[in-house]
């Protein structure tokens, strides 16, 4: 059991006229209006630091906080592999199934919590989806974090993934640049997907191997939108095998799962960046799981193991 968590958000201009109860019921669809009323009555919700009332009107700019009591978190992998460590950075290989950051019912069962047990000062520069395995880069001091964050904004960090998509393509390489933005989700309000008016997004997919009605891809992304590869591969007609959320075209399935649901195969294989202290060009890699290796790679690995 964790120690609980406080969910904090600022009321937007489109929520003017809502009461505390109607606002939470309209924006937090995972719970019913009756459940939210009970939480407010128990004193779990505050507005601007004061215990809220169900009928209290809300105004744009106000801060609403739900102090969720402690709960049992779902069992997830509780380990990571250390790839690189020095005075400025730490790079780890995250297993599939482990959340990177607190979200979606996870607070302490996260990669961040595990890494900070060994490196209390570490701050992640990016995050991977819960079902995605692979490399995550952490900074160990403010100067390193600032320089790496600037590199991310300038798009000088190269990120390469492995993914298995449905279907066969005749192209050896193709570019996907459909915008990504919020679309309605029946259970959580909105989720990121391909949509007009979204943020610019860019991915390059290279075919590594065909497998009957599936294709193994290497995908390089220059932007880092939430679920970008899952969305872009679906938009290109190759949704990731086992993805519970996105279908061909880049939109949501008729009965979509949640963004953190696993079941697909996606791995952050390579990071290329300039070291924030030494200026050295760094390339770090994490071997993909067997499902995301080519036939030739599996044969080579088997020969080495003999």
List the CATH number of the domain containing 282.
3.30.2350.10
Are 205 and 94 part of one and the same domain? yes
Q: What is the mean pLDDT of residues 65-73?
A: 95
49 with 89, same domain? Answer: no
Confidence band (pLDDT; 50, 70, 90) for 169?
very high
What is the spatial distance between Cα 249 and Cα 225, in angstroms, rounded to a whole number?
Answer: 17
Whether residue 94 sits in one domain with residue 21: no
- The mean pLDDT value for 289-294 works out to 96
Strand partners, 51: 46
Mean pLDDT of 88-93: 98
What is the chain's length?
Answer: 306
Of 68, 103, 120, the one marking the end of a domain is 68
Task: Kindly state whether residues 164 and 195 are assigned to the same domain.
Answer: yes
| Mean per-residue pLDDT over the chain, rounded | 95
Nearest to 58 by CA among 95, 91, 25: 25
Q: pLDDT at position 184, please?
A: 93
What is the number of structural domains in the chain?
2
Query: Domain check: are 16 and 165 in the same one?
Result: no
237 phi, psi to nearest 5 deg: 95, 10
Residue range 5-13: mean pLDDT, rounded: 93
Mean pLDDT value across residues 186-199: 92
The answer for residues whose C-beta is within 8 angstroms of residue 242's C-beta and 6 or more apart is 263, 264, 265
Domain span holding position 85: 81-292
Asked whether 270 and 135 are in contact (CB, 8 A), the reply is yes
């Amino acid at each position: 059991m964790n120690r609980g968590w406080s969910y904090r958000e600022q009321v937007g201009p489109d929520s003017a006229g809502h009461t505390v109860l109607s606002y939470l019921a309209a924006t937090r669809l995972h719970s019913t209006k009756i459940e939210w009323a009970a939480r407010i009555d128990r004193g779990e919700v505050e507005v601007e630091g004061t215990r809220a009332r169900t009928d209290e009107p809300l105004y744009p700019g106000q801060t609403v906080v739900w102090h969720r009591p402690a709960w049992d978190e779902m069992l997830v992998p509780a380990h990571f592999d250390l790839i690189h460590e020095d005075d400025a950075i730490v790079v780890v290989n995250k297993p599939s199934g482990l959340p990177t950051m607190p979200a979606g019912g996870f607070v302490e069962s996260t990669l961040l919590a595990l890494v900070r047990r060994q490196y209390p000062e570490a701050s992640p520069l990016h995050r991977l989806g819960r079902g995605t395995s692979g490399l995550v880069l952490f900074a160990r001091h403010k100067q390193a974090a600032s320089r790496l964050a600037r590199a991310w904004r300038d798009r000088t960090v190269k990120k390469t993934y492995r993914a298995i998509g449905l279907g066969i393509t005749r192209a050896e390489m193709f570019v996907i640049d459909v915008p990504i933005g919020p679309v309605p989700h029946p259970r959580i309000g909105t989720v990121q997907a391909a949509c007009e008016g979204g943020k610019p997004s860019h991915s390059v997919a290279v075919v590594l191997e065909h497998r009957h009605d599936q294709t193994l891809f290497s995908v390089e992304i220059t932007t880092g939108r939430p679920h970008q590869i899952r969305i872009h591969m679906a938009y290109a007609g190759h949704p990731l095998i086992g993805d519970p959320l996105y279908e061909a075209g880049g939109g949501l399935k008729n009965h979509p799962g949640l963004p953190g649901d696993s079941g697909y195969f996606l791995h952050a294989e390579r990071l290329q960046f300039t070291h924030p202290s030494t200026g050295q060009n760094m390339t770090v890699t994490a071997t993909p799981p067997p499902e995301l290796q080519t036939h030739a790679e599996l044969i080579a690995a088997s020969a080495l193991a003999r």
